[in-house]
Amino acid sequence: MNFFNIDGPFQRIGSFVFDIMVLGLLWTLISMFGFGITIGAATTSLYAACYVALVKEEGYVFKTFFTTFKQKIFEVNFCMAYTCSFICAHVLQYYLHNKGIT
């Protein structure tokens, strides 16, 4: 097997590194332009796409990223909103308790 063949190790490693770099860039852009709202769905999608690339060794990591992002955006944002409201309620309760209001 030739080292620089299309199915050779150089091509496989280069393709893998390129996929990971572009997935990281996609994650950064989606998280940044989503103003933090889409960071949960982007992280879930990044994990799913890396899992497909590393463990299953299948192609189409970008398709996996965007498909998972579309499927999980509402579910993850609901969980994040619930968690943030829970934290805000406890911080407010702590603040009001220390001020002597309650």
* pLDDT tens digits for range 10-19: 888 888 888 8
**Confidence at residue 88, expressed as pLDDT on a 0 to 100 scale:** 92
**Confidence at residue 83, expressed as pLDDT on a 0 to 100 scale:** 85
**Confidence at residue 102, expressed as pLDDT on a 0 to 100 scale:** 58
- The answer to whether residue 1 scores a pLDDT higher than 70 is no
4: three-class secondary structure by DSSP? coil
Indicate the length of the chain as a whole number. Answer: 102
pLDDT (average), residues 18-37: 87
Q: Give the model confidence (pLDDT) of 38-96 as tens digits.
A: 888 888 889 888 888 777 777 688 888 888 888 888 888 788 788 889 999 999 999 88
**Spatial separation of the C-alpha atoms in residues 37 and 81, rounded to whole Å:** 9
CB burial class (10 A; 0-12, 13-18, 19+) of residue 43?
middle
**Confidence at residue 25, expressed as pLDDT on a 0 to 100 scale:** 92
